Chains A and B, each alone.
Chain A
């Protein structure tokens, strides 16, 4: 089945460590997105990529990094510079701009 897969579902990280969240899609979509969801704040855009080897910062990119070496994959690294990383992270892809976005089931990151 076509879709978007995020892994792992739950992730625990010690303070000061970097951690990478995986996002893979087999929908042949060019655009991919990372959002952060906090209670009562909706979704906020971290990074997006419209094409392989290109990506742009969203509203809250500080402390995060991404890569887009393959069309299917858009991993997000949460670095130690991110001061409050505990959150729910959602990855999405979109075939054409401003159309329906497909979301993964999310990764819940907890810093311990």
Chain B
């Protein structure tokens, strides 16, 4: 069975703080994809990153970085120097290769206060 757990329901930080959103997954597959999406107040989900299970290199994109650790089945997301515009719900998701079955975590609501 595939499962994604985002244990942090809500996080509140003050602008310019760093914040890490946790994501732990379960799968019996040896190959799979992991995703992060952002859901701003407008409602649509916005794609942030896709990671193939073969690629354990960490990735940095501006203030965003992702730490993928296969040994602990985690794919954590860090925002450095957070900004008010980062306030949103963030979803981690797991997808089987060549399969439409994508599993989402429950989401973490991040609030960045000025």
Residues of B within 8 A of A (CB): 4, 6, 9, 33, 37, 42-47, 50, 91, 95, 97-102, 104-107
Dominant SS among interface residues on chain B: loop
State in angstroms the CA–CA spacing of A97 and B97 once bound together: 8
Shortest CB–CB separation between residue B60 and chain A, in angstroms?
A: 19
**B4 neighbours in A (Cβ, 8 Å):** 42
**Chain B CB within 8 A of A74 CB:** no
Known contacts A40-B9, A98-B33, A106-B44; A48/B100 CB under 8 A: yes
7 smallest A-B Cβ distances: which pairs?
Answer: A106-B43, A42-B104, A103-B45, A43-B104, A100-B47, A42-B106, A103-B44
Cα–Cα distance between A44 and B102 once the two chains are bound (Å): 9
Asked if residues B100 and A105 are in contact (CB atoms below 8 Å), the reply is: no
Within 8 A of B (CB), among A35-64: 35, 40-45, 48, 50, 56
* Alpha-carbon gap, A61 to B45, bound state (A): 21
A62 to chain B, nearest CB (A): 18
Q: Which of chain B's residues have a CB closer than 8 A to the CB of A97? A: 98-100
Chain B contacts of A41 at CB under 8 A? 106
